Amino acid sequence: MDVEYESWLDTRLVYDPDKLAQRLSRDRIEILVVEADFVFEEVFQQASALEYVGICRNSTSHVDTDAATRHGVVVVNTPARNAQAVAEHALGLMLALARRIPAGHAYIEDGGWQNPAEPYMSMRGVELAGRSLGVIGVGTIGARLARIGAALGMKVLGYDPDPRFKTARYLPVDLDTLMTTADYISIHVPATPETEDLIDARHLAMMKPTAYLINTSDASIVDQEALARALSGVRIAGAACDVFDSHPIAPDNPLLGLDNVVLTPHLGGATAETVQRHSEMMTDDILRFVKGWQPKNIVNREVWRRRG
């Protein structure tokens, strides 16, 4: 088949939906693969030749799958493509908090290390082994972090709003128990109407004053104002966030400037292996599709049933 490759990593371009629709219609594109572009109703209305939309992400929130189904377009995603990357990033944030790694780097960079022994006292950290790890959301990513935590010698507690997720790698508890018990709390539930503000002011008040919160999932899951108050008042020891209300972070975000916070610019899934993994998954499913076989990661199976 003819292939046009325009990676947004190279072009730095995320298509305007109307312009994308015009392009697909003009060139009679049959298969579209995106990672960050939005594919809405107007795209499916105008792109009459379109048969397949591939999403190089687990989330399908930026593609109108209902509209795709109405127009008979198969939608395929790449579940768990970045699960290992995000689990490892959560571990890295936990270590950064426990051992004050960013502060130590800044201490040297800023010329603060004058007394050889002083940072041994003022920047002393704690070990993860023997501490409690609370994992909120024990799907693919959360289960991997649970396994990593257990390997480090942590006691792992797990909570998931979806009762289907069960594994022997953690002790299942309710959310209140997890919030009051865990030393490190890592969030891995998806952003849904049910999980919005799942961690609110009441839950933050339950945390130990020595506990840390790590969020690599979505900012909407934590009440951001309540989190900022808890951190600025040092009611919890600290937090690490890879996700925010806006990307990039707003300059007036109250988390900026706090010395008990570690912030990263939405890097959780940003690894070379993630790109390789989703590329292979998508290629395999495109080949299945053109051979007339059902793609492994089809999102809207109803369309496939209609195609016979």
Tell me the per-residue pLDDT of 39-72, one tens digit each, with 9 for 90 and over: 999 999 999 999 999 999 998 989 999 999 999 9
What would the pLDDT profile of 243-300 be if each residue is shown by its tens digit? 999 999 999 999 999 999 999 999 999 999 999 999 999 999 999 999 999 999 999 9
What is the model's pLDDT at position 168?
56
CA distances from 292 to 124, 154, 189 (A): 60, 48, 34
- Beginning with the edge strand found earlier in the chain, give each strand of the sheet holding 52-55 in spatial order: 31-34, 52-55, 74-76
What is the model's pLDDT at position 211?
98
Q: Give 172's strand partners.
A: 158
pTM for this predicted structure: 0.92
What is the model's pLDDT at position 11?
86
What is the model's pLDDT at position 167?
60
10 pLDDT band, cuts 50/70/90, is confident
Superfamily assignment of 8-81+272-307 in CATH? NAD(P)-binding Rossmann-like Domain (3.40.50.720)
Residues 227-242: what's their mean pLDDT?
97
Contacts of 263 (CB under 8 A, 6+ apart): 240, 241, 242, 249, 255, 256
What is the model's pLDDT at position 7?
83
Which 3 state secondary structure label does DSSP give 261?
Answer: strand
End-to-end CA distance of the chain, in Å? 23
Encoded tokens for 199: 């961690």
Which residue matches tokens 């995603």? 77
Contacts of 153 (CB under 8 A, 6+ apart): 128, 129, 130
Contacts of 101 (CB under 8 A, 6+ apart): 95
Which residue matches tokens 């495109």? 286
- Look at residue 137 and tell me whether its pLDDT is greater than 90: yes
Residue 159, classified by CB atoms within 10 Å of its CB into exposed (0-12), middle (13-18) or buried (19+), is buried
- Largest CA-CA distance found in the chain, in angstroms, rounded: 75
Residues 211-233: what's their mean pLDDT?
98
Upstream peptide bond of 248 is cis (omega within 30 degrees of 0): yes
**The two domains 8-81+272-307 and 83-263 share their CATH topology (first three levels equal):** yes
Which residue matches tokens 């939005």? 38
Domain spans, the chain: 8-81+272-307, 83-263
What would the pLDDT profile of 141-190 be if each residue is shown by its tens digit? 999 999 999 999 999 999 998 877 666 568 999 999 999 999 999 999 99
Nearest to 223 by CA among 268, 264, 255: 255
CB of 136 closer than 8 Å to CB of 142: yes
What is the model's pLDDT at position 166?
63
Q: Which amino acid is at 98?
A: A
Tell me the CATH number of domain 83-263, given options 1.10.8.60, 3.30.420.40, 3.40.50.720, 3.90.700.10: 3.40.50.720
What is the model's pLDDT at position 88?
98
